[in-house]
Amino acid sequence: MDIQPLSESLQGRASKLPDPPCLKRKRQQINSDRCADWCLLSIFELLCMNIHGSFCFYDQLLFKVIKRSRKAGINIKTNNRAYLKNRFLFFLLAIMLIILIGVSLSCGRYHVPIAQMVRILLSNIIKLEETWTESMYNVVMVIRLPRVVAAALVGAALALSGTSYQSVFHNPLVSPDLLGVSSGAGVGASIAILLHASSWVIQAAAFIVGIIAVSFAICIARLLRNQTNLILVLSGVIVSGFMSAMQGMLKYMADTDTELPSIVYWLMGSFSAVKWSSIAIPFFIMIIAGTVLLLFRWRINLLSLSDAETRSLGVNVSKLRGTAIICSTLLTACAVCLGGTISWIGLIIPHLSRLLVGEDNQSLMPVSALLGASFLLLVDTFARNVSATEIPISVLTGLISTPIFVIILLKKRTVVK
């Protein structure tokens, strides 16, 4: 009996069979491009990416995982060049943010020298001889520093939530107000303004009604017994349309001399009324929600796959998508209640970040947060210094972001069919 043809036939048939679900230790080398075909190797790579991009004290554990996987016959290739590039870029963006904070604290109608500004900040930590005036101290610590902190937080929150929404819904044109949180927050703020409430009540009303609007969108999807991305987007469109109609009705009812200008100015975005007391609660909510998103960013990568493929990796798609939506909604609601409805940040910054670090959320989300904070801080500094009266934030973000978006489209050579 001729064994050679039979062996070749069996090998040919075996090559057509699907890959086994588990990895055998006898395999000497596995091409990393095919790692997604095996659940275990996918988990290995995602875990390594998470550790590699998150915290430095996990690096030793990462190398142990790679070493053990190679002993098991799994060749996990680490792109050290891209890793160092992303780390260096993250460092540069952090330095740029610190420089912008210093410039923003120093510049204004009342100029404070940078040396005095630094001494004022350090005086809250260590004892220093007072070489500054009381006016300088009040300008830096009471007026400008809360505004700078709010602008950086809001920019980072909008960019981070926009990146999360675009990853969850597989749509690069998605923005943080997709599910109606911005429209709902505008309605809540308008109601509070009509009731002549204080700034704290306006902030609380904007946050609560924004969360309620997103809850309505999710309830609509549940009533339809279909929580796919398409149904959630359509539910958000429905809620946003309803909230826009409510907003128009409230503007019609407002007094044209006092209430209507306040509503319009709030909707255009501004940090002029920000104080330390108004930052405290949103600060903690944004820190918690942002930390959860950053810790889960390697899992959000899995949502780029189909639901069936993601479930095959042992991931609960509904819980993961729900966690990402809830955290992004909290970030957006806090951002809107602090600075009003600020457009374009959550849409344009994720695209800029993708040009720098690619599609991987491991590096994309932290870079988006830093870039969003720097961008909005720069816009706010420009808004309060370019003219005698402060320019609304959304006006400047629209004027600056639209040409940048055109440049991004030309860079990507995007073809819209």
Residue pair 175/141 in contact by the 8 Å Cβ criterion: no
Q: The tokens of 301 are what?
A: 């990568």
176 vs 344: CA distance, rounded Å: 9
Residue 250: pLDDT over 80:
yes
240 vs 355: CA distance, rounded Å: 30
Residue 223: pLDDT over 70:
yes
For residue 369, the SS3 value is helix
**Which pLDDT belongs to residue 370?**
94
Residue 99: pLDDT over 50:
yes
Residue 58: pLDDT over 70:
no
Q: What is the secondary structure of 179-191 as a DSSP string?
A: TSHHHHHHHHHHH
Helices (H), 254-360: 259-267, 276-295, 297-300, 307-312, 317-339, 345-357
**Which pLDDT belongs to residue 245?**
93
Residue 30: pLDDT over 80:
no
Residue 330: pLDDT over 60:
yes
**Which pLDDT belongs to residue 368?**
93
HSE, CB side, 13 Å, CA atoms: give it for residue 288: 11
**Which pLDDT belongs to residue 336?**
92
396 vs 43: CA distance, rounded Å: 43
Task: Summarize pLDDT for 161-171 with one digit per residue, the tens.
Answer: 999 998 888 88
Sequence-separated (6 or more) residues with CB below 8 Å from residue 156: 290, 369, 370, 372, 373
The percentage of residues in the chain with a pLDDT greater than 90, rounded to a whole number, is 31
Which of the two residues, 111 and 45, has the higher pLDDT score? Answer: 111
Q: The tokens of 110 are what?
A: 């009342």
383 vs 272: CA distance, rounded Å: 11
Which of the two residues, 120 and 173, has the higher pLDDT score? Answer: 120
**Which pLDDT belongs to residue 238?**
92
**Which pLDDT belongs to residue 413?**
62
Which of the two residues, 43 and 143, has the higher pLDDT score? Answer: 143
In Å, how far are 147, 262, 332, 393 from 272, measured between CA atoms? 7, 13, 19, 10
Sequence-separated (6 or more) residues with CB below 8 Å from residue 3: none
**For residue 298, what pLDDT band results from cuts at 50, 70 and 90?**
confident
**For residue 243, what pLDDT band results from cuts at 50, 70 and 90?**
very high
Range among 231-235, 360-364, 372-376 with highest mean pLDDT value: 372-376
Sequence-separated (6 or more) residues with CB below 8 Å from residue 302: 46, 310, 313, 315, 320
Residue type at position 322: G
183 vs 160: CA distance, rounded Å: 19
Section 172-188 average pLDDT:
88
> Smallest Cα–Cα separation from 124: which of 370, 132, 277?
132
**Which pLDDT belongs to residue 385?**
87
Q: 172-176, 214-218, 256-260, 325-329 — which is least confidently predicted?
A: 172-176
Task: Summarize pLDDT for 61-92 with one digit per residue, the tens.
Answer: 444 444 544 554 444 445 556 667 778 888 89
**Which pLDDT belongs to residue 252?**
92
Which of the two residues, 111 and 65, has the higher pLDDT score? Answer: 111
Residue pair 217/179 in contact by the 8 Å Cβ criterion: yes
**For residue 10, what pLDDT band results from cuts at 50, 70 and 90?**
very low
Which of the two residues, 339 and 81, has the higher pLDDT score? Answer: 339
Which of the two residues, 196 and 49, has the higher pLDDT score? Answer: 196
Section 345-374 average pLDDT:
90
181 vs 179: CA distance, rounded Å: 6
Q: Cα(first)–Cα(last) distance of the chain, in Å?
A: 60
25 vs 66: CA distance, rounded Å: 14
Residue 293: pLDDT over 60:
yes
Task: Summarize pLDDT for 279-290 with one digit per residue, the tens.
Answer: 989 999 999 999
**Which pLDDT belongs to residue 33?**
36
Helices (H), 20-79: 39-53, 59-71
**Which pLDDT belongs to residue 95?**
94
Q: The tokens of 172 are what?
A: 């690069």
Q: What is the largest CA-CA distance in the chain?
A: 102
**Which pLDDT belongs to residue 90?**
87
Residue type at position 191: I
In Å, how far are 219, 242, 298 from 213, measured between CA atoms? 10, 10, 28
Q: What is the mean pLDDT of the chain?
A: 79
**For residue 173, what pLDDT band results from cuts at 50, 70 and 90?**
confident
Q: The tokens of 48 are what?
A: 């390594």
Q: Write down all domains in the chain, each with its CATH number in brackets.
A: 17-78 (no CATH), 145-412 (1.10.3470.10)
